[in-house]
Structure 1
Amino acid sequence: MVEASNPYVKVKTLYNPVNMLESQTHYGIMGAVSEVKKRNGWDWCIEIFLGTIWYAVDGNFRKFVEELCRTWLEEYLHMIYNWEKKTQPKKLQTGPLHEERIVGLWVKKLLRGRRK
């Protein structure tokens, strides 16, 4: 298997109109880090579910834009966390709960102090 490219350099974003609130497998998910199949392997992809974000903010466009930006940032940071975990395994602890906690802290710090 060919390793994915460095997410600091290259990432593709897919904006999916599907409302994942109706999905049995991904209930309420607003975004995900996925794989893009390429001829010789795969690469990083951020998938954003616009329908779920729109539903979650109850049709408020301003909140929709804010949540879209926050969701993209969070998924990008998940991708970075996973890249760092693969390239420098001794620096980061593993486990989905630890990853969620760390990424949550990163998002909170990066969004602190922005205009309201």
Structure 2
Amino acid sequence: MGQLAFLEVIPQDHLVEEIQPPLLVAIAEANIGDANLLLQNRNNVDVNQNYLYFAVQSGSEAMVNLISNRFDRRQCMDWIFSVVDGRTLYQLANENDNIHRLLDGYINQND
């Protein structure tokens, strides 16, 4: 598994230009500076649940905050409970106490 092994979790039919690999790489590597710069020009970003998925998978609370604050809150709620790779993002977050608490706070804030 190389540096880009995280891309293997994306179904092959979704590996198209609009996923914006540089942004996904920055998110997966918890590179806040690069992710923030790439998100500043959202015209070139095809918004989908992969962004929040990789933010949660990165283990970085700051990255989860960056992504969840950049996109529509209702959309992020849908993403939190959507199934990716057999689990919801909320289930994936259970592996990291800090991110799990962050998502709990995010969910409760939207009630």
TM-score higher than 0.5 here?
A: no
Q: Name whichever structure is richer in helix by fraction.
A: 2
Structure number, greater radius of gyration: 1
Q: Name whichever structure is richer in strand by fraction.
A: 1
TM bin, normalised by shorter chain, reads under 0.3
